[in-house]
Amino acid sequence: MERRIDISVPENKGKERLDTFLTREVGQVSRTQIQKLIQNGYVTIDGKTVKSRHIVQPSEKIQVHIPKPPPSDILPEKIPMDVVYEDDYLLVVNKPAGMVVHPAYGHSTGTLVNALLAHTSCLSTVNDITRPGIVHRLDKETSGLLVVAKDDNSHRLLATQFEKKSVLRQYVAVVWGIFKKKNGTVETMLARSIKDRRKMQVAKQGKGAVTHFEVKEKLPLTSLIYLKLETGRTHQIRVHLAHIGHPVFGDQTYGGRGRQLGGLNQKDTALAMELLKIMPRQALHAKTLGFIHPQTHEEIFFDSNLPEDLENLIQKLRKDKR
């Protein structure tokens, strides 16, 4: 369980940055750790997320959530990996649905990092010890392509491309409902949910997030769409699609399963139930990945086939077109 700390700013408090104030008040937590907690939405003031540079004010109510630390000893595990590409500087892996990218509370084994440690002794150390080589992530139940850095210089150069939004990331998804227009962009602020810290939500304050979508095919009850990310926020695609009324099919967290059955007629309900059995997770796959190689400086692109469950779902929907 995570630890929660409630702090009331004293009435006579002078001007001070939030991160500096909390470093002293919380204790046994470094300023860098405090800044990461603030950045990731684990710190709220009067129920709202803020930035590290926020100047604390008298009588403000600060709530700090400190997640339980993951295990420090990560063991190599010989887990099969679909390595799409590998050289002396990086790997590109096609992650299966159901695999967590790196160890965290509740997932100390069976992660992609465990598999990577068994595959190679060369992984970047830019991140903390639980995330060697990990430049970016995919949700546990999202399948698809990930780039992994083998050395620190390659990691930094790849991370810079993600920060500058120059990495090509194209996803395929089956979502609920039929779109009124073929193309569109969803641009909002995203923040961690106050009610459930494991979820994200569209908010007035938070981190900017931009998702572009293109409808490829209208299917029974659903649409097949392609998506391109400008930003890579936690749960970004899933939250954005739910926000515009088209949650990812099968997404339990953001309204893509049972919640969509209400209002369907008997025939459509039966079809939806059958489809949900085919797809027990969110129907989302990171299909295409492109970036500048950190050593050769050449543009490289990778494309992956749809996983079997998503392919089966699409074929079933096509057969039931009417």
**Tokens linked to 26:** 């919380």
Residues in the chain: 322
Q: What share of the chain is helix, strand, coil (3-state, %, to 5)?
A: 25, 30, 45
Between CA 88 and CA 94, with CA 92 as vertex, the angle to 5 degrees is 150
Task: Give how far Cα 230 sits from Cα of 93, 126, 286, Å.
Answer: 21, 23, 14
Distance of CA 160 to the CA centre of its chain: 18
Q: Single out the catalytic residue among 19, 139, 151, 309.
A: 139
Distance CA 222, CA 243 (A): 16
Pseudo-torsion of CA 23, 232, 143, 238, nearest 10°?
90
Is 303 in the active site? no
- Residues serving a catalytic function are 139
